[in-house]
Structure 1
Amino acid sequence: MPAETVLITGASGFIATHIVDAFLQAGHTVRGTVRSQSTADRVKQTFLEYVSKDKLTFAIVPDIGVPHAFDEAVKGVTGVIHTASPFEFKVDDNEQDILLPAINGTKHILDPIKKNGSQVRRLVILSSFAAIVDVSKGTRPGYVYTEKDWNPLTYDEAAKKGSSTVVAYLVSKKLAERAAWDFVERERPGFDVVTICPPMVYGPNMNATASIAHLNESSAEIYRLMTAKPTDPVPPTSFWGSVDARDVAQAHLKAYETPEAGGQRFLVCQDNYSYQQMVDVLREKVPEVKDRVPVGKPHTGLGEEVYGIDNSKSRKVLGLHYRSFEETVVDAARSLLELAKKG
């Protein structure tokens, strides 16, 4: 398809940086939103070649949760990739810190796009397997999740006092995605929507804002395993599916460029995995950390029977080809070792 100008929100994030890279490599011009000029300056260091050619610019959006946050940022673009959403498990207030920012952040990108609807043709939203999985069913042996599934948790359950931040995150992703589909149904805008729903996203860090002291949640999980002790217990697996950040980036690119993807939801997943499999890979393929990684019960696989995740739609419609879990973990570990050298 011809090169276009695309807005990518939350452009400094772990996954978003890979998405920016994918769109730039595909020839598109990217406008990224970040919270501050200092963040924009740091992100530029990752993409100096494109910045020098005016292929990458930035719009400052300090708070995605306020009305009209994206009014200026969407002007003059033909597509929007919306990734900005809170992913923090240490917060003071589930409603104020997780639920409302995620839901309102999506709502506040929809209205200005509609106003500029003669130009914007497609909005691709980074949703999550969190919007799909029913955690009340546990490991759910024999069940296979597809794009037709929806997490049944409610806003009230997430917002009530004492509710866990994990529940709040699950609900925030579901309701943010629902807000987009409800908007399309109600407003019938001149653009269409695609949602991408990955489970745990691992892979190398290429975002210039990352440091060993400030890692995204999934990278921090790997680093904790790389800096533990062989006798430490292998932590229990929470979500039994994973995918490489680079494949998630390709999913967004293909979702934007593929005409028949419009109006569809895609479950983007590499395969099932467990932390035991992760430590096995780290010990066997990254010798520098072998003596610090928990041993657990080597080569016991998932360790139990768990639900399946069907990625066939993403392969068929988007033409995705997934990296192996081993490649993802090794590349993630190598990038973390490089970050550790920088301090």
Structure 2
Amino acid sequence: MAPINNPVLPLGSTILVTGVNGFVAATLADVLLSHGYNVRGSVRDTSKNAWITSLFEQKYGSGRFELAHVPDIVVEGAFDKAMEGVAGVAHVAAILSHEPDATKVVPPSLTSMMNILESAAKTPSIKRFVLTSTAMTARALDMHDPVVLTQDSWNYDSLVNAWMPPPFEMGRGLEVYAAAKVASEKAMWKFAEERKPGFVCNSVLPALVFGRLLSPEHQGTPSSTHFVTALFKSNMEVIGPSTQMIKTFNYSDNEDVAYMHLAGLIHPDVQGERLWAYDKPCNWNDLLSVFRKNFPDRQFIDDIQGVTHDPAKNQPAERAIQLLKELGRPGLADMEQSIVKYIPQFA
């Protein structure tokens, strides 16, 4: 049953979720299926990702979920076939790279963004389009100025820093990733304003994403959970460089992120919005505190020196909490809830 009255997309509609094998996308597909929608999920390799079809068929029965083969999102028309007959699109797939050379990341990210928008614009059945953006489009990581974040907050610094001349040090990879995300989201809003397609555009801004995996066996330690795993196991070879570069960050629960996408897809009052999927800041020592509290028999590294908390006020989080409650959720999950759901899956 729909979580709100009169959803924009009728129950039984098919939603395209791109990159459906990913951490956020798989969770979103699960949430959509649980609320009565059908899902078509795009992946680069359907045989490699047959597990997700089996998982959803066991959970929801046959005919509710299907995989679509989209081998290269940069190719023109790559999404045309996958779009056929869908009512909404959640564009979660992205070029994930720590490449410090912006020329190798930003242009293809923009090309893939325009490819899917053009395909959607040719598909009259589509009424909603939701882009998975990132918290870094609003604010760069590790900032310490006490600003007030709003719908109009943009990380223009990364757009500049990503294009600085060589040497391309690896630490610039985060700036390049942020620049690609800013450019892609800006391109979507420009497309919506100038082309006025037959669908409403919204975006979702997650931070570092924690939470329960659908299939630890197949998903491994994706996205931000890789850092949690490394810190839990005291693997300083992995976590060490990150703790040196990043002193504070924000976090999102993967289910909250999925429900914010749901709001962007079906909520009649969510039109042309950037939806924040995070609220409070945290740091590495906060994670260690959660570990020690919930796993008292295990030894962890000492607290890391020099960590901080971002002093920014996240104004859009109030809207996120309101929408989550309208969708039957208690609000944004705290970090401990997300971590405790995840760690038993690999510990």
State TM-score, norm by structure 1.
Answer: 0.86
AA matched with 2:233: T
* Closer/same/farther in 2, CA of residues 161 and 70 from structure 1, 3 Å limit: farther
2:108 is the alignment partner of 1:101: yes
Counterpart position of 1:44:
53
1:322 deviates by: 1.4
* Closer/same/farther in 2, CA of residues 101 and 180 from structure 1, 3 Å limit: same
Deviates more, 1:12-21 or 1:34-43: 34-43
AA matched with 1:110: L
2:202 is the alignment partner of 1:194: yes
Unaligned stretches of 5+ residues in structure 2: 1-6
Deviations 1:226-251 (A, max 9, x none): 11179x98925455211101110011
Structure 2 CA distance, aligned partners of 1:150 and 1:229? 34
1:286 deviates by: 2.6
Please state whether the residue corresponding to 2:90 is helix, strand or coil.
strand
Equivalent of 1:171 in 179, 188, 203: 179
Alignment root-mean-square deviation, CA? 2.5
1:154 deviates by: 6.0
The answer to whether the Cα contact below 8 Å between 2:17 and 2:39 also exists between their aligned partners in 1 is: yes
Equivalent of 2:333 in 323, 327, 330: 323
2:138 is the alignment partner of 1:138: no
Counterpart position of 1:13:
22
Residues 52-91 of structure 1 mapped to structure 2, 5 A cutoff: 52-89=61-98, 91=99
Please state whether the residue corresponding to 1:153 is helix, strand or coil.
helix
2:344 is the alignment partner of 1:334: yes
2:299 is the alignment partner of 1:295: no
Structure 2 CA distance, aligned partners of 1:322 and 1:179? 28
* Closer/same/farther in 2, CA of residues 20 and 152 from structure 1, 3 Å limit: same
The answer to whether the Cα contact below 8 Å between 1:78 and 1:121 also exists between their aligned partners in 2 is: yes
2:130 is the alignment partner of 1:124: yes
Counterpart position of 2:119:
112
The answer to whether the Cα contact below 8 Å between 2:211 and 2:339 also exists between their aligned partners in 1 is: yes
Percent identical: 24
Counterpart position of 1:219:
225
The answer to whether the Cα contact below 8 Å between 2:43 and 2:69 also exists between their aligned partners in 1 is: yes
Equivalent of 2:285 in 250, 253, 276: 276
Counterpart position of 1:267:
276
Structure 2 CA distance, aligned partners of 1:170 and 1:227? 28
Counterpart position of 1:340:
none
Deviations 1:38-96 (A, max 9, x none): 2331222332325742100011001111111101110110100000012332x374422
Structure 2 CA distance, aligned partners of 1:312 and 1:37? 39
Please state whether the residue corresponding to 1:260 is helix, strand or coil.
coil
AA matched with 2:154: W
AA matched with 1:71: D
* Closer/same/farther in 2, CA of residues 107 and 10 from structure 1, 3 Å limit: same
Please state whether the residue corresponding to 1:261 is helix, strand or coil.
coil
1:31 deviates by: 0.2
AA matched with 1:327: Q
AA matched with 1:114: A
AA matched with 1:323: A
Corresponding pairs, count: 324
AA matched with 1:177: E
1:188 deviates by: 0.9
Counterpart position of 1:33:
42
Deviations 1:178-228 (A, max 9, x none): 1100101111111110001111111122246322xxx32411100111111
The answer to whether the Cα contact below 8 Å between 1:286 and 1:330 also exists between their aligned partners in 2 is: no
Counterpart position of 1:161:
166
Please state whether the residue corresponding to 1:39 is helix, strand or coil.
coil
The answer to whether the Cα contact below 8 Å between 1:229 and 1:294 also exists between their aligned partners in 2 is: no
State TM-score, norm by structure 2.
Answer: 0.85
Please state whether the residue corresponding to 1:72 is helix, strand or coil.
helix
Deviations 1:280-315 (A, max 9, x none): 101210346x21x223179x9x74563232301222
2:268 is the alignment partner of 1:254: no
1:318 deviates by: 5.1
Structure 2 CA distance, aligned partners of 1:77 and 1:304? 42
AA matched with 2:120: I
Counterpart position of 1:209:
218
AA matched with 2:74: G
Structure 2 CA distance, aligned partners of 1:202 and 1:85? 18
* Closer/same/farther in 2, CA of residues 251 and 275 from structure 1, 3 Å limit: same
Please state whether the residue corresponding to 1:16 is helix, strand or coil.
helix
Structure 2 CA distance, aligned partners of 1:129 and 1:201? 11
* Closer/same/farther in 2, CA of residues 327 and 51 from structure 1, 3 Å limit: closer
